[in-house]
């Protein structure tokens, strides 16, 4: 089943083309990766998907309904690379506050489940400002999944983390696979290889490849994902 469908998605800023007729689908319960160098259009696509900016033309459908028609509350949530964490609140208070915004998900059981799932119980009473980078990323994801979204968007979830913290977060993300559709943007190719079922590559606002890692490598006639990405993502028109 298709969870997200991008159909000829185009975005112009005056005469500048940020996205040009981008079309691909993300399947239900898939962990889908989005790759591209800076300026490729990843952030623009994510911002359109969650309704922060309008598209110029084209359409995005969620479970077959246009995002202009669908009621998204509870369907999509996002953990941005710039965490929307209240630093003066504790871990538990941050999660509870987000849960309360969604009314029916404000029960204590949901908060407890997320604290357990993201391994945050030991720091539940700490102020967010005192957390390490790795724990802040976990908290950001916890705040996103406490609403029980069907689609979780992870925007550069391990950016700035050391190798150990990054691998710990990979393990946590892997534990969410199969429970929801996950749409992941990252600059780390090893992250794509470790986590993703399929991947799309953007270059200058245009979709250049989509498929499994093996399919991407075959398309570029490359032996590794790094070779394939460099061949596809840096190719000039």
For residue range 42-100, list pLDDT tens digits in order: 999 999 998 889 999 999 999 988 876 655 556 888 887 666 789 999 999 999 988 88
pLDDT recorded at residue 52: 87
- Is 167 among the domain residues? no
Token pair of 14 as six digits: 């005056």
- Find the domain containing 133 and state its range: 76-148
pLDDT reading at 172 higher than 80: yes
pLDDT reading at 209 higher than 90: yes
List all residues 6 or more positions away from 43 whose beta carbon is below 8 Å from its beta carbon. 155, 185
pLDDT recorded at residue 148: 87
Cα–Cα nearest to 187, from 225, 131, 132, 145: 225
Q: For residue 13, what is the domain's CATH number?
A: 3.40.50.300
Give the model confidence (pLDDT) of 98-122 as tens digits.
888 876 555 788 899 999 999 999 9
pLDDT recorded at residue 151: 93
Spatial separation of the C-alpha atoms in residues 78 and 16, rounded to whole Å? 27
Q: How confident is the model at residue 236 (pLDDT cuts 50, 70, 90)?
A: low
Spatial separation of the C-alpha atoms in residues 161 and 142, rounded to whole Å? 17
- Is 9 among the domain residues? yes
- Is 192 among the domain residues? yes
φ, ψ for residue 62, nearest 5 deg? -115, 115
Q: What is the mean pLDDT of the chain?
A: 89
Q: Are residues 40 and 153 in the same domain?
A: yes
- Is 71 among the domain residues? yes
Tell me how many domains the chain contains.
2
Report the run of H or E that residue 130 belongs to, with start and end: none
List residues bridging with 94 in a β-sheet. Answer: none
- Is 153 among the domain residues? yes
Residues 176-183 have a mean pLDDT of 93
Token pair of 105 as six digits: 């998900």
Q: Are residues 209 and 100 in the same domain?
A: no
Q: Are residues 102 and 129 in the same domain?
A: yes
Helices 108-117 and 91-101 pack at an angle, to 10 degrees, of 130
Residues 154-177 have a mean pLDDT of 90
Spatial separation of the C-alpha atoms in residues 9 and 49, rounded to whole Å? 10
Q: pTM for the complete prediction?
A: 0.90
Q: Are residues 154 and 51 in the same domain?
A: yes
Q: Are residues 47 and 153 in the same domain?
A: yes
């Amino acid at each position: 089943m298709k969870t997200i469908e991008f159909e000829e998605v185009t975005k112009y800023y005056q005469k500048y083309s940020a996205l040009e007729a981008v079309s691909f689908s993300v399947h239900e319960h898939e962990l889908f990766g989005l790759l591209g160098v800076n300026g490729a259009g990843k952030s623009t696509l994510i911002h359109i998907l969650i309704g922060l900016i309008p598209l110029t033309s084209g359409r995005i459908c969620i479970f077959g309904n246009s995002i202009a028609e669908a009621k998204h509350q509870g369907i999509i949530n996002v953990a941005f690379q710039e965490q929307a964490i209240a630093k003066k609140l504790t871990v538990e208070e941050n999660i509870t506050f987000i849960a309360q915004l969604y009314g029916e998900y404000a029960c204590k059981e949901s908060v407890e489940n997320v604290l357990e799932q993201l391994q945050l119980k030991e720091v539940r009473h700490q102020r967010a400002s005192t957390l390490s980078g790795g724990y802040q990323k976990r908290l950001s994801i916890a705040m996103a999944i406490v609403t029980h979204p069907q689609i979780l968007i992870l925007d550069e979830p391990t950016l700035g983390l050391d190798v150990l913290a990054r691998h710990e977060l990979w393990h946590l993300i892997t534990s969410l696979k199969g429970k929801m559709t996950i749409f992941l943007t990252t600059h780390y190719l090893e992250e794509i290889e470790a986590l993703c079922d399929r991947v799309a590559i953007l270059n200058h606002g245009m979709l250049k490849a989509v498929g499994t890692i093996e399919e991407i490598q075959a398309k570029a006639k490359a032996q590794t994902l790094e070779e394939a990405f460099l061949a596809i993502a840096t190719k000039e028109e």
